[in-house]
Chain A
Amino acid sequence: MTALRTEGLGRRYRRTWALRDCSVALPSGRVIALVGPNGAGKSTLLHLAAGLLAPTTGTIRAFGRPVRESLERIAFMAQGKPLYSGFRVAEMLAFGRRLNPRWDDAAARGRLAELGIPFDRRIGRLSGGQRTQVALTVALAKRPDLLVMDEPLADLDPLARQDMMRGLMAAVAETGLTVLLSSHMVSELDGTCDWLTVVNKGRVQVSGDIDELVAGHRLLTGPAENADALAARLPVISRGGTGRQATLLVRDTAPLPDPRWTGRPVSLEETVLAYLRAPDLAALPRPALTSLG
């Protein structure tokens, strides 16, 4: 089952394309990390997914229907402080109840009580971590099948980040909802996200299961003298090294023919950074490896 499917999706602001030619299928029940440099098109893609922007070209569908017809199944958590800071917590809940037919008030109140967040406190007087938890509670109370979050970890201290992720993961365990979130903190996504989509320069560069993606890459180290010969035979994502030693990050796991070369597994962060530095290379489900150059 596909949660979100885009075909030829593009969005232009005046003369600038924020996102173009984006065709991607994101499976349901997953926690999908959307990663990319600033200005790569992440926010645009999220706003399109939440139905807050209309596409300039192409289509975007959620659970088989156009996003704009599925809005009651999609919740959006905006970047920064997505709540009215003058509202008290209880007023925020009343507001959500009135706007959302699927609103689960008991779950929202239970969640906030469990977190020890006072209902009579104004949003502006809460800590950053508490504010994010209220925003997450409001988003979850809509009982969405797809939760779209723009940089939910930004501006949070490490403890609040973990609390936020723990709350999100518990919601996934209970409801099986699909989460699409953007983040700069790739190292924090390890273990919490299970699908990675990388956008770079307005295009989708990588999209796939994180375990498979990471297990499919290796960092090879060996003598520089035959690095070219090896690199010619393997899909190389990035190259480094100094003098006589060369390193190659490759999308290949076959045994190495030359014993002077050693391979070691790579982390999610290493893999992502290597792709971000090579915007012309792509790792998409089909075809296995294509150059968009």
Chain B
Amino acid sequence: MIEFHLDRGSGVATYLQLVHQVRHALRLGVLRPGDRLPTAREVVDQLAINPNTVLKAYRELEREGLVSGRPGVGTFVERSLGQTSMGDRARLRADLARWVLDGRRAGLDLEDLEALIASVLTDSYREETA
């Protein structure tokens, strides 16, 4: 079973943090089809967060077809997520390293680069969810 954790200062909505952690666990194979997700009550006992937030995260995962809720039984993983290959990861990392070097040559410091990445990520995911 997955154990959720929270980054309270991250500025990422709590339900999205839960969604990301499930997706991540699916990608890593930590969660597999048939596995049960913790109930809202179990997550509440662990993290002291709003149960509606947990249900909202599960609805989002259900909408994506990753999990399905069975009333009175629980929420179960329906399918795994394609795991990125080591080759893809290596290539993306090299691309990003080049981009960072480029940025530093242009005079951007660590915080500028972080802000830029955060802003592109935000825009990208916002377009996805809109």
Contact = CB atoms under 8 A, between A and B. Distances in A.
B51 A169 contact: yes
B12 to A, nearest CB: 8
Contacts of B93: none
Given A173-B41, A264-B115, A265-B122, A190 B14 contact: yes
A213 B90 CA distance: 38
Contacts of B40: 173
Interface size class of B (residues with CB under 8 A): 20 to 34
B1 to A, nearest CB: 17
Given A262-B115, A262-B116, A264-B118, A172 B14 contact: no
Nearest to B45: A170
Contact of B13 (A174, A214, A262): A214
A166 B48 contact: yes
A266 interface: yes
Interface string A154-190: 0000000010011001101110000000000001001
A191 B8 contact: yes
Contacts of A190: 8, 14
A250 interface: no
A255 B48 contact: no
Nearest to B41: A173
B80 interface: no
A29 interface: yes
B102 interface: no
Contacts of B3: none
B72 interface: no
Interface in B16-40: 40
A162 B48 CA distance: 7
Contacts of A266: 11
Nearest to B130: A253
Contacts of B8: 187, 190-191
A49 interface: no
A70 to B, nearest CB: 23
B50 A169 contact: yes
A194 interface: yes
Nearest to A188: B8
B100 interface: no
B50 A170 contact: no
A165 B126 CA distance: 31
B44 A31 contact: no
Given A215-B13, A266-B11, A173 B44 contact: yes
Interface of B: 6, 8-9, 11-15, 40-41, 44-45, 47-53, 56, 115-116, 118-119, 122-123, 126
Given A191-B48, A262-B119, 18 more contacts: A169-B49, A169-B50, A169-B51, A170-B41, A170-B44, A172-B52, A173-B44, A191-B8, A194-B52, A211-B13, A215-B13, A221-B115, A253-B126, A262-B115, A264-B11, A264-B122, A265-B118, A267-B9
